[in-house]
Structure 1
Amino acid sequence: MTSRRYTVRVTKDELVFSAGHFITFNGDECERIHGHNWRVAVEVDGPLDENHYVFDFIALRDLTRALVAELDHRMLLPDRNPHIRVGVEGRNVVCRHRDRLWSFPAEECVILPIENTTAERIADHLGDRLRAAIASRGMPFPRAMRVSVEENFGQWATAHWDAEEDGG
């Protein structure tokens, strides 16, 4: 008997956000500020439900779109990077790396609970938020999920979760 696996994938023009960032690399080097038109794709695996689908495409799109909208036209900053200090000073977010200092209007920033604003960590952050959104709405949890972020044409990073590996 063959076993069937089912996957639903959502990636749409509305799952794109424009945002600035900079990362540290080679230890404690820090690149210049720049931006991307990031694209997000989400895949979920699981059995078919009573409606014969894995997950509602529209619900998955809408949940993802809401998370993507929070990042659109913002400066993305990491709060767990050991080489970049990020803090709020008055109405601004101030970042420091060695002798460099940046100041951004707070309402134009998103401080992410990640170590570096790489595509990998942004994908992981979006996946964590998406899993929490699914759980908070009492929706059936997928067997596996992949969130991919394209930071530049043809350059994708993907974070994977598997319920069986997570003990779920």
Structure 2
Amino acid sequence: MKTAFSIRVYKQYFNFASSHFMLFKDGTREPLHGHNYRVQVKGNAPELDDDMVFDFLNIKPIVRRICDSLDHKLLIPKNNPNLVIEDRENNYNIVCVDKSVFSIPKTDVLMLPIENTSAERIAAYIANELHAAVLAEYKFEFNELEIEVEETPGQAAVYTLFKE
């Protein structure tokens, strides 16, 4: 019989307020808008180390740091082929297929290495950032790392990262 243990972490401060716009396959986009996102983390391990999957005291500051990095930013998917991102002196000029142009101060923008700014893609981004930080800081990998990103109450996306 196969077994696994899990931890689930969701603190009130696992949140961020960000703006974004989704880009659709046909090149159209939705209007710029924002959400008050909330994040939950679940990590699985096949066995316990010192009677714990992973210490809550160690994971909470990492998740908070990731959420803080996303907070009060315009999230731009730098890997989206329907965007042209021009790096100007103090601004990014972001040109969409529909010819709309956003000129935003660089300090207000976070360029994410994702294809779109859907809750699903943001959850994947957070999972990869958390995985890398836990591995670098604690030399630990979860068998499965599940990230839930809630855009509005009752509406969330979940991404699961599996250990290879």
Give TM-score scaled by structure 2 length: 0.93
> Using the alignment, how far apart are the partners of 1:4 and 1:136 within structure 2?
26
- Structure 2 partner of 1:143: 143
Encode CA deviations 1:10-46: one digit per residue, 9 max, x unaligned. Answer: 1111000000000112532101000000011110001
Other structure's SS at 1:37 match: strand
**1:50 positional shift:** 3.9
Give TM-score scaled by structure 1 length: 0.91
> Using the alignment, how far apart are the partners of 2:54 and 2:138 within structure 1?
13
Name stretches of at least 5 consecutive residues in structure 1 with no aligned partner: none
> Using the alignment, how far apart are the partners of 1:67 and 1:15 within structure 2?
9
> Using the alignment, how far apart are the partners of 2:148 and 2:85 within structure 1?
26
Q: Which amino acid aligns with 1:47?
A: P
- Structure 2 partner of 1:7: 6
> Using the alignment, how far apart are the partners of 2:119 and 2:3 within structure 1?
31
Q: Which amino acid aligns with 1:118?
A: S
Q: Which amino acid aligns with 1:143?
A: N
**After TM superposition, which residue ranges in structure 1, 4 or more long, deviate above 4 angstroms?**
none
Which shows bigger deviation, 23-32 or 71-80?
23-32
Question: What is the percentage of aligned positions where both structures have the same residue?
Answer: 31
Number of residue equivalences: 163
Whether 1:49 and 2:48 are equivalent positions in the alignment is yes
Cα RMSD (Å): 1.3
Name stretches of at least 5 consecutive residues in structure 2 with no aligned partner: none
- Structure 2 partner of 1:58: 57
